[in-house]
Chains A and B, each alone.
Chain A
């Protein structure tokens, strides 16, 4: 109680104009910024993987398993920021037991479980099944048993069984694409359906979330591929990299157009809230929205990749440009989430004033927890790579 009072009294000085007295406490902080960021990476990485299976983009084969495992690693962490943010995490099971059918948030558990169980785990299992059986026969000791358990003790590597695997993967991916759309579109809906908040309330929100998710997912897999391949002392497959960058480029154009559309629509309609939103965008959100999200996170990488395409640059230079662009894109998408979540709470619902957000360093809501939550999936991914090596040479022919 005291802690929050001290925190809120220091916020009081940051308020400009008039805000409702209950609005001094900003309710959704850094943790809720991380949540859509992470689920976005999951959905994006998965959609990238499905390009290989459904649309037969052969060039992307080297990243197929990497993207699946990336999606899985991040999906494991996705509910943690939500859980950490709850006032009563010990009661969170109520969402499963007595969900309120009209609540977008209540659906999270089900969408999440569906995506984890019915899509990701199934697809990874079918894809690795044959390798798991072979690894289990080659390895010894505890590793042997790990593979046996993960393969659920299946032993059938006959032609027909392998064909069944292939068919199943296709089927799961077919279900998986709409599921990935559902997962992240739904996260957008959590915000987009709040009519009380004009910054959030937009029918475009789920779609913008989705495309920015694909952008961030592709950029992440590109980064992981570029970091991990030299670490393994292998050559980067430039065809694959170019293709990744191309897809990144096209999806970014769609994402950019949607964001511009949203911007034009808002300013053209100029509803009651336009004054305060204009004040917000030109003031407290200027750096994070205009400079970081738009310029650094969107226009510069878009321009750079366009330049690569146009001038046919040498491979080494292309690599560096892709690498830097992908990092900028990650920064950009993270700030996009920030601008939605925090930005939407910086103005009063009285449309008469602005408040502020002050991040703490320690504590559950603090910076430290958030950094840990962002590093955790990388750690999980490291172990997944150890147990289920996604490299082509690890595959049993």
Chain B
């Protein structure tokens, strides 16, 4: 009996697999058929119809060496997620670090770097290193924001993303205080806490977050944290990886490659 069941399951999986292959192959021949516009309509049917959060664990890799500080990710995020366009509310932003000989490191992020950075005059050639660091919610596995929320409005999903339920949030701002990374803000319109969701509405459809999509240098890599074949795992195998503020034991799922000790 059990054998028959697994056989049927295998058949279904195989059928789905073949179907997917067929569609992928069709896409090669008729790119417009499964173009970005039509994905919305057939997505349920084809590739990610039965999204099960338990099957995934999402994370992001960021290669600091690849980031050019153009701020396209910041812009894409604001557009995609309806983040207020004023410079005080960000789900993601980019910081510029300039490590100067014999001086304090200078960090800036004008308007979250949504328009990139203006070149700074070199201080007599004394800049030792300069680099850009994209920041966003670290989607911690041990999230302090979730711990402190008095009503449980913010929670960690099965696929490892920390979300806020607007309907539940009472706007006490305790989570904003609890976040060590400054990744949360109070939405001025809804008066509820807001944050990066890894573009949850996109990832359940098999798309990547808007910032990842917009990045011209592929400095951001989105994917599964626990599946060997995922691009994120490949990225993590290839680089020495660091996370922000590891001493706080928040267990971030945003992994940085080529991170300087000045970054925090």
Q: Which A residues are closer than 8 A to B by beta carbons?
A: 1, 4-5, 8, 12, 18-25, 27-28, 82, 85-89, 91-92, 94-95, 98-100, 102-106, 108, 190, 193-197, 272, 345, 348-352
Contact = CB atoms under 8 A, between A and B. Distances in A.
B151 A95 contact: yes
A391 B13 CA distance: 83
A87 B89 contact: no
A127 B107 CA distance: 63
B150 A352 contact: no
Contacts of B168: 91, 94, 98
A20 B90 CA distance: 9
B152 A100 contact: yes
Contact of B182 (A91, A100, A102, A350): A350
Interface of B: 84, 86-90, 93, 95, 106-109, 111-112, 135, 144, 146-153, 168-174, 176-186, 188-192, 248, 264
A104 B151 contact: no
Given A89-B170, A98-B168, A345-B177, 11 more contacts: A22-B184, A86-B172, A88-B169, A95-B150, A95-B170, A100-B152, A104-B148, A105-B174, A106-B150, A195-B144, A350-B264
A88 B93 CA distance: 28
Given A5-B188, A98-B151, A23 B182 contact: yes
A102 B147 contact: yes
Contact of A88 (B109, B170, B188): B170
Given A88-B169, A106-B151, A25 B185 contact: yes
A1 B184 CA distance: 17
A232 B21 CA distance: 92
A196 to B, nearest CB: 4
Nearest to B84: A1
17 contacts: A8-B86, A18-B95, A19-B182, A20-B135, A22-B88, A85-B172, A86-B171, A86-B172, A91-B169, A92-B170, A94-B170, A102-B148, A105-B148, A105-B150, A196-B177, A196-B178, A350-B182
Most buried by B among A19, A104, A345, A352: A352
B87 A196 contact: no
